[in-house]
Structure 1
């Protein structure tokens, strides 16, 4: 099992890994969950897949096992900033605007984590290890990017995984169903014991 953080500056070093990750997102979110998202050539993408974002990928060679996208809360691309803030601003029809208890933060040390997934077909016997690897590498990558906190609209089961790694996660809004799955915004503190 390998962990790679992809960016526009290193795509060329990883062959088809980025496109395979977008294809795995397509299978997860569009085919598996029936979310209405942009798609082309069997890949799911949206307005936050820009040069400002990073993509944490757990993989076995070119086979993508899991992934998550990290975007700085200071990001701007046209009218868009980052997913949680734009949902709160009413720019995203599929996500309720009341997803946060307080105004969405904008700060260099806070990054947005979204599109977290474990790919369909990941074997039961390695699924837990894949989830833990994804969470651990997400935190390490975010720290390397200068983040001390992540904010994300994540499945409500994620804090249980975080606790196993010593990652502190605090609810930042109400539980809501998105695409039939219970989600909640969380603040993920990276000033934790995890190394």
Structure 2
């Protein structure tokens, strides 16, 4: 999973992130987090990291809250409409990816599998909602899969023209 994240975020997206031995990881990859991967024949096709909003590791909590508190230079602090939540039933979804090796004809199926597994895993962990940063058009995909996904902040544009938005996902919704 960490090698697939490296290929996606460092090699393909050219993000400056911590890395070692061909793996990408950061201060949020702690024992409090959980990782969900869609894989086939030993190859990771997609993945996501789930972190409780109650997590603490030194000065860090979870990515969205730390960005809002001004601890992360690469993410603007005005990414949410309200104060970042801290509650045992709310988890953060981060480092979401689908590998670029997934053929276009299978991408939607892999994305839907990842969303299904993310929601199932989060529910098993006691979450009733998730908060995350996703590409601007992802909420439409989420609605297509039957989950309740609403913007939790303004659209954020990066220096390279990517547009993202924070979202809230209510896990009480039924999956497809």
Give, in whole Å, the separation in 1 of the partners of 2:130 and 2:48.
Answer: 12
Q: Which residue of 2 aligns with 1:149?
A: 129
Q: Which residue of 1 aligns with 2:79?
A: 99
Q: Which runs of 5+ in 2 are unaligned?
A: none
Secondary structure of the residue aligned to 1:142 is helix
Contact between 1:33 and 1:180, CA under 8 Å: does it hold in 2?
no
Q: Which residue of 2 aligns with 1:194?
A: 175
Q: Which residue of 1 aligns with 2:100?
A: 120
Corresponding residue to 2:157 among 168, 177, 186? 177
**TM-score normalised over the length of structure 2:** 0.96
Kindly state the Cα deviation for residue 157 of structure 1 after the two structures are TM-superposed: 2.1
Give, in whole Å, the separation in 2 of the partners of 1:170 and 1:32.
Answer: 28
Kindly state the Cα deviation for residue 141 of structure 1 after the two structures are TM-superposed: 0.5
Q: Which runs of 5+ in 1 are unaligned?
A: 1-20
Aligned residues between the structures: 175
Give, in whole Å, the separation in 2 of the partners of 1:36 and 1:177.
Answer: 17
What's the CA shift string for 1:79-132, capped at 9, x where partnerless?
000000000000111000010111000001000001000001111221110000
Kindly state the Cα deviation for residue 181 of structure 1 after the two structures are TM-superposed: 2.1
Alignment of 1:23-34 (within 5 A): 23-34=3-14
CA RMSD in angstroms, aligned pairs only = 1.1
Give, in whole Å, the separation in 2 of the partners of 1:48 and 1:167.
Answer: 25
2:8 matches 1:53: no
**TM-score normalised over the length of structure 1:** 0.87
Secondary structure of the residue aligned to 1:193 is coil
